[in-house]
Structure 1
Amino acid sequence: MKARHISSLLFLLGLGLLLISIFQNLPYSNNLTGIGANINAQAPQQVGTANIVTSVILAYRGLDTLGELLILFTASIAAGMVLAYNPDELTDSVLGKQQQQPAGFILQTAADLLMPFLLITGMYIILHGHITPGGGFQGGAILAAAFFIPLLTLPGKRMDYQLGSLLEALAGISFISIGLIALFWKGQFLAPLGEPGVPGALLSAGSLPLLYLATGIKVGAELANLLARLRDA
């Protein structure tokens, strides 16, 4: 065994022992403490969400969520710049080498049949994120899969990147616009607008479902464009 392998093994062993000692001394409790207990008690009345996680993501720490969207946007732009190319610049010989055969009838039919169900599931998870576990990030990933899976069965088919970029931009502008309206109206960026409603009802939580809708469309467009570029690279 080489010295490099021995040093790596010793490092992993030491790291494992360190993590074990840390976890053994961490205090565990089944009771909520500090700010978590306050949010758990007050969020249903203040925000109107049955899913307390949504109130944290979009209301109490909405600015952090905007930062996460910015990180995803930046990563998507960077990957797109690396993977982007002009199909017209490819020679016929290169295209001939890279061309793949389309999937069979069964896979193409299954992908076409699966797409509307994925769209419905993704939108359901987005629109019910303030009621049940889910939301914009999870639903957006499903929407991306709905548009990307049919592309896998037809290698020659190309995604409309401009449309995806337009949807992504409109969703991002909508998210920030709602936050700015809340800032001028209530004095807090991304403060819930409208009446909280009854927790558990579809029409509740004020403007939070709109924020999740913008998040879902933005995430779905970004991931779909990124996956399509990875396939075409």
Structure 2
Amino acid sequence: MTRNAIIFGILALLGVTFFTLFAGFTPDSALNQTAAYYATQTPNETGAQNVVTAIVVTYRGLDTLGEVTVLFLTAAIVGLVLAHSKAPKGRSGSGFLPSGELLTTGTRMLVPVIMLFGAYVFLNGHLTPGGGFQGGAIVASGLLLTLLANPAERFSHRLIARIESTAGLTYVLIGLLGLAFAGGFLDNRILPLGTFGSILSAGAIPLIYAVIGLKVGAEFSSILTSLEETEDAQ
């Protein structure tokens, strides 16, 4: 009874808090100084048609580096925990149910398209909605579909780790080149800005997002591979 009363009191307090915030919210009638600067100056300074992408990759480049680092740590922790939770050898069986012909055939047809679409998303992030995180997740979904179609499939942890490490190192090196030869860390102007709205524009942003896409895709793939191997060991 006391426990329920405490829970009810906490919920009531949260309800009152959120209602107060909602009732007192007044939307801004105009952009603040920082937002107005980004909205008006980003296309000219970065050459990117997608303003959101330009902000994430250049002005907030250090934040993006922190985000991919957190994702890397998550993948590493998941792999470490699952490696210690695998069943001892000899207890696992090979009783995989055979995949249906529809799933197997569909996988062979769709996985190349999924990979191509993932690459398209992160290479065109400076022009249209998308980018490295979205493209990397799409690439990893192709690997997930492969595992669903063939549960006995094995992917090289070493190859995935090399892709992830190389992409992460390249990302940092591009950032340092911006610091040395342009206006700051991850400044995309280390390469020509090109023609606004074309695929070869926005300086180094397409290259940065390609690297982020490979890194995110490798990290998600590492998690999926660790989960699949743990299921196999049960």
Report the TM-score, using the length of structure 2 for normalisation.
0.92
Instruction: Specify every segment of 5 or more residues in structure 1 that has no aligned partner in the other structure, as ranges.
Output: none
Distance 1:112 1:6, change over 3 A: farther
Q: Show the counterpart of 2:186.
A: 190
Write the mapping of 1:110-189 to structure 2, written as runs, cut at 5 A: 110-189=106-185
> 5+ residue gaps in structure 2?
none
Alignment of 1:66-145 (within 5 A): 66-84=65-83, 90-91=89-90, 94-96=91-93, 99-145=95-141
Distance of aligned partners of 1:86 and 1:78 in 2 relative to their CA distance in 1, 3 Å threshold: closer
Q: Write the letter of the residue equivalent to 2:199.
A: L
Asked if residue 21 in structure 1 is aligned to residue 17 in structure 2, the reply is no
5 Å-filtered alignment, 1:210-229, equals: 210-229=207-226
Q: Which amino acid aligns with 1:140?
A: G
Match of 1:232 among 218, 229, 232: 229
CA distance in 1, matches of 2:24, 2:86: 57
* Cα drift, residue 197 of structure 1: 2.4
Amino acid at match of 1:78: I
CA contact (8 A) 1:159 1:225 kept: no
- Alpha carbons 1:168, 1:218 under 8 Å: kept: yes
Deviations 1:149-190 (A, max 9, x none): 111122222221111111000100110011111111125111
1:194–1:206 CA contact under 8 A, matched in 2: yes
* 2:17 matches 1:7: no
RMSD of aligned alpha carbons: 1.9
Deviation track 1:61-101 (CA, whole Å, cap 9, x = no partner) reads 1011111111111111111111126989611xx222x7331
Quote how far apart the aligned CAs of 1:195 are.
Answer: 2.1
| CA offsets 1:131-158 (integer angstroms, 9 cap, x no match) | 0010000000000011121111222222
Give, in whole Å, the separation in 2 of the partners of 1:76 and 1:135.
20
Percent identity over the alignment is 37
Is this contact kept in 2: 1:99–1:156, CA < 8 A? no
CA distance in 1, matches of 2:58, 2:176: 13
